[in-house]
Chain A
Amino acid sequence: MRGDLTQLLDRAADGDASARDALFAEAYDELRKLARSSMRRESPGHTLQPTALVNEAYLRLLGPDVRWENRRHFFGAAAQAMRRVLVDRARRRDADKRGGDLERVSLTQVDVATEDAQVDVLALDALLAELEGVNPRLVRTIELRYFGGLDIEATAGVLGVAPATVKRDWAYARAWLLERLSG
């Protein structure tokens, strides 16, 4: 693992907000690079795999030998960064003349499923922004579960709450998103 990242993680663990921002920036850069190369490798129409990308970014940036505490902070930042990467890409596509070619993301990890298990990232992002004003913890939960690919227990670990709480938040947030996305 890179030395400056170790420091960032340590500082983030101490509650240093600027370190958390720097961590987010690092994760964002890496995820964007990975997303780009992933799209190059794959056929057109290929959907991004947020979980795989976050895991790959994790292994590339940190390597396998990282303390649990530090992993928490990385995943917290990486899940948010992944959301940004997807939204940025969707916006660019939207601005593209060809239009209508929305970035489609496999939503297998999250139960906000439409018929083809795909969701409009921008719509999802807008809903999350709306939810942010109502209950930020629900948004963090969605980010970690969906963009970070974490399970209930791991999400609880990152957020520092009981698994039962994540489970309840998740059930509610999922229904909340489903209702608005299908509406």
Chain B
Amino acid sequence: MSRQTVDEQELFLDCLELSGPDRAARLARADAEVAARVGRLLRAHDAAAARGMTLGSAVDDTQSAAAPPASIGPYRILEALGEGGMGEVFLAAQEEPVRRVVAIKLLKPWLAGSSLAARFEAERQALALMSHPGIARILDAGRSDDGRPYFVMEYVPGLPITRYCRENRLDLPTRLSLLRDVCAAVQHAHFKGVIHRDLKPSNILVTDIDGSPAARVIDFGIAKMLLAQDEGRPDHTRAGMVMGTPDYMSPEQATAGAEDIDTRTDVWSLGAVLYELLTGAPPKARPDTADGETSRPSRRVVAAEDGTRHAAECGLADARQLARLLQDELDWICLKALARERGDRYASPADLAADLGHHLSGEPVAARPPSLAYSARKYVRRHRVVVAVGVTTLGALVVFSAMVSQHARELRVERDRASAEAALARRVTAFTAQLFDQASPSSAGAAAITARELLDAATRQLRGRGRSDPPDVRAALLESVGNAYVGLGLYPEAEPLLREAVTLRRAEAADRPAALGTSLQSSARLALGAGDFARAEALGREALTVLETSATASTAERHAARLDLAETLRRAGKLDEAAALAVTAVDVLGRSSDAGSDVHALALYTLGRIRAAQGQLDAAIALLEQAVERRQAMYGDSNVWTNEAKNGLADALYLRGDLGRSEGLYRELVASNEEIFGDDHQETGIVLSNLANVLGDQPEKRAEAAAAYRRAARIVRARLGPMSPETATIENNLGSLMLATRDWHGAEQAYREALRIRLVVLGTEHPETAAAQMGLALALNKLGDFPTARSLLEQAIAVFEARLGAAHWRTANARRYLGTVLTNLRLYDDARATLDRAHADLAAALGPDHPRTRSAATALEELAAARAR
């Protein structure tokens, strides 16, 4: 560049700042030839300015050269204000119905009819959605005489926020509360489904209103409508943001393009503006951030040349004083807002605003210094060469370890000084999480019963304190306590905790989908435990969807969710879908590297349970035997998971009529559960009820069976309440035993109770509801109410046929009893047909020697005898 041009340009720019006599004086001091050229340049410039352009204002650089129209619709154009990506902005006067000055955005002439016109319309719609004092309001919209769409906005005669703060020498608290207002405005936009995507000082204008500064967010020209119907259309609607402003552009905007933008993009940009308000410069455009890490504001102001000037603009003596004010809390807040990973940022502008509020009012902030793990990651990145050497030789490895521990010590010292409280909080968190794990019955054995007090105390603590924990930490705590409650069968206590955990996980779902999936699973298990199958199913389906679509979820996690859903569907009686899900899991896991893992064992168990429910007992027993073996190998013999599989196996054996083996397994389970959970835990109660079933089928053991049922019913009612599915099951079983002991009234009472609960909990179409109807029918048959008994059995058979299949042993068994009722009604031909079919189906399903098959044969003999009479 020639010396001459530099002089010419400098003189020109100097003169632009001056007017009239000052400018003439300045030109007169310069070299005559240069002054003449600059004089011509200035005249050319002024001529252009006279047509509506002024140089030197904040918006000058985007002015349009086209002479503005005299009017747009009913608005009289005063001057051109500037130009955005798609539109020109004019200052205009409105005369009717009110006299005021407004801003009008008019689509650029060459864009009319193009796809960008849709974008323009989208901005208008975005503005129309919002109503907030921090966002310029839209007043009107229409088409100009030449057919270009325009919209009319409130005119904001403000300065960019950074410039306003600078020129008015606002102190730090005023700057912070101003930014807090901006956060509230952006939060409002997010609430309305609008992401701004181009937040920067020139789009945040500050005006004086009644002597205090008021900020307004403008230019939603490249805003993204979260719920817009044209989402994802790969057209030019993003062309306006092709070149955003890099300084205030979030890392994902700079690297990932427009597809993967969410509300936390605006959080980053707000953080960048905050950074500039605190340090005098945006975070990126610094030589000291070449490695991509943002330097702390407190370090930046002492390191930068202009630190003292900026400190003065904040009303402070020097950069050191400013640094002291920024150190720790404001550093952390900035870095949290500017975190590279969105999951590490504030979840919303409201959270950023809240933390600014905490700082202003002297409360502890949620932002924390970078964690040790985070620092260690950075350390490894910075020392990658050492790491690479470290894995090659033992000697280097030792050296590396020493370096790491030294570094960790330094970090610890720094951290402890910075935030002893934060470190303490982390330790407490780790400690209590550990306590909770121990309290869960699956790892704590008999001590679990006393865990209730611990959990209640933890819950009180979570309700009172802990609001300031980061969302992921709080969610983890809530899940620990909630799951432990579920483990203890304390479902109402668990519910609010797990619900809040899901809410927190949802907010972070984009980054930690697997955590949301797991949280949903916990809630689903709670709902299943509490007998709310519909809710359990809905949660289970969502958990599966979340994990299936998550890139980070492991195969094991996905199949665990699939199996949880299958189990829920089994319990809800939707056996076909349950089987399909479980078969997939068994097949895939059996062929994967997860073969033999705990999830594989879970798959075998779940499918075994479903096959048993479907009446495929041999398949069920084979699967469940495998599940027991694997879990014995993994966990040992007296363990909740081994017991679960044993219970399934014992149930299947019982259904197949293998009473001896089944009884042996149940007795083991009762003893083991008493040992693990205690005498009055529902798991003990449930297994007792199962043992009683086997005992009740053996006439010589019916007294023991009745005692077992009574104890089981007492435990389960106390634990799970009178309306739980388990209570219904035990009542049902008790009714069955009463039938066996010929206590018809006792049986009627028990079955009516079971039916009452199941009609509410399971509905009319559930096989277990049908089972209770069948039991009640048997009792009524003995009591002589044959028509009611027949009606109940016909209903039950219809449900069994629909849900289990026409040839299922339970359908056949119900048919066998209908045959007896028909016999009693003296409808012998119907009875004969019904019993023949029942006998054949039972023989096919359970074998000719099964007690139920033999019972059908007996019924046929009774029919023959009745006919003979």
Contacts and interface: CB of A to CB of B under 8 A. Distances in A.
Contacts of B256: 65
Interface string B67-99: 100000000000000000000000000000000
A30 to B, nearest CB: 15
B290 interface: no
A58 B45 contact: no
B426 interface: no
A111 B258 CA distance: 31
Interface in A81-117: 106-113, 117
Interface in A47-83: 47, 49, 52, 55-56, 58-59, 63-68, 71, 75
A64 B44 CA distance: 39
Interface in B747-785: none
A82 to B, nearest CB: 14
A107 B1 CA distance: 27
Interface string B624-646: 00000000000000000000000
Interface string B210-253: 00000000000000000000000010101100111111010001
B41 A179 contact: yes
A37 interface: no
Contacts of B67: 117
Contact of B236 (A59, A109, A117, A174): A59
A15 to B, nearest CB: 16
A137 B244 CA distance: 21
A148 B47 CA distance: 25
A134 B5 contact: yes
A42 to B, nearest CB: 10
A178 interface: yes
B286 interface: no
Nearest to B41: A175
Interface string B39-60: 0111111011001010100000
Interface in A149-180: 150-154, 157, 162, 167-172, 174-176, 178-179
B9 A75 contact: no
A106 B66 CA distance: 9
Interface string B1-18: 110010011001100100
Given A151-B62, A175-B45, A108 B246 contact: no
Interface stretch (B108-116, B576-584, B842-850): B108-116
A3 to B, nearest CB: 16
B63 A157 contact: no
Contact of B242 (A58, A109, A172): A58
A172 B13 contact: yes
Given A108-B108, A111-B65, A179-B40, A153 B245 contact: yes
Chain A interface size range: 35 or more
Contacts of B234: 63-64
B236 A111 contact: no
B66 A117 contact: yes
B258 A64 contact: yes
Interface residues of B, number: 52
B424 interface: no
A175 B259 contact: no
B698 to A, nearest CB: 71
Contact of A171 (B2, B13, B110, B254): B13
A152 B200 CA distance: 13
B466 to A, nearest CB: 39
Contact of B243 (A64, A75, A162, A168): A75
Contacts of B247: 153
B47 A65 contact: no
B393 interface: no
A63 B239 CA distance: 10
Contacts of B114: 52
Contacts of A182: 44, 47
A66 B235 CA distance: 16
Given A135-B5, A171-B45, A178-B45, A112 B65 contact: yes
Contact of B48 (A55, A64, A113, A157): A113
B257 A64 contact: yes
Contact of A108 (B42, B65, B238, B258): B65
A154 B45 contact: no
Which A-B residue pairs are the 3 nearest by beta carbons?
A65-B257, A113-B65, A154-B243
Interface of B: 1-2, 5, 8-9, 12-13, 16, 40-45, 47-48, 51, 53, 55, 61-67, 108-111, 114, 116, 200, 234, 236, 238-239, 242-247, 249, 253-259, 285
Given A68-B246, A169-B9, 4 more contacts: A64-B238, A108-B65, A157-B246, A168-B9
18 contacts: A55-B236, A68-B246, A68-B249, A110-B65, A117-B66, A134-B1, A135-B5, A151-B61, A151-B243, A157-B245, A157-B246, A171-B12, A172-B8, A172-B12, A175-B44, A178-B47, A179-B40, A179-B41
